[in-house]
Amino acid sequence: MNEIVSKLAKMIDHSILHPTMTDEDLRRECEVARKYNVASVCVKPYAVKQAVELLKGSDVLVGCVIGFPAGNSAIAVKVFEAENACKDDAVEIDMVINIGKALQGDWAYITEEIKSVTDACHKHGAIVKVIFETDYVSREADIVKLCQICTEVGADYVKTSSGFGFVKQTNGDYNYVGATIPILELMKRSVGPKVKVKAAGGVRTLDQLIAVQAAGCSRCGATATSVMMEDAMRRFES
């Protein structure tokens, strides 16, 4: 891979999170991550040990979701889950905030929650990405406040979505938007200089990956890794 393609690959957190995924799916998707030498895989808590073993000898890091996907676990449970993932050798933790508490403006609770998980992860040498679920927490003022809290407590990343924040549409269907450029730019403007931004949800093409990179994102969650990377190699290596 040339430098442009390699940099794009190192933006990607390859998501292996769908509820139906089996151990065989995990093996296959870890091979995808290894093939393109992405930044990390993001896996379910029980799969951390397996992913670490499957990616041994590669540069691909292993990350884990916490309180996923709805963010409803008690703070102590999220801390326990994060510490357990770190003990299984996860080095990146993607936590979902308590969405209801954010929507009601209980910022003391949110601060305690993010700080507790962040402190636990940092104690184990892992970084923390805080998922806002912007299909639910959509008010600009709330997003800005969450960015300020993440900056204050020392979180490493702010992140748009879980990829499972489905909202009931007027026709009765459930869908979600995920990362949008205006929200990513707002998050980038609202965090401190040490906090990075991760796009997640709805980024499925190379052009979308390049767009979120231009918006200031350092990472991007993706399931369409193969599609994006094959397109990048055709475009930039031909």
The rounded distance, in Å, linking the Cα atoms of 59 and 36 is 10
CA 77 distance to own-chain centroid: 19
Residue type, 148: Q
Q: Say which of 78, 145, 159, 196 is annotated catalytic.
A: 159
Q: Which two tokens stand for residue 149?
A: 């809290």
Rg (CA), the chain: 17
Where are the strands (E) in 134-205, listed by range? 157-159, 167-168, 174-175, 196-199
Active site residue 198: yes
Q: Say which of 13, 78, 94, 196 is annotated catalytic.
A: 94
What is the torsional sign of CA 158, 81, 120, 89?
Answer: negative
Active site residue 101: no
Task: Please name the residue that has the structure tokens 């990075």.
Answer: 196
Active site residue 194: no
φ and ψ of 60, to 5 deg? -85, 125
Q: Which residues are catalytic?
A: 94, 159, 198
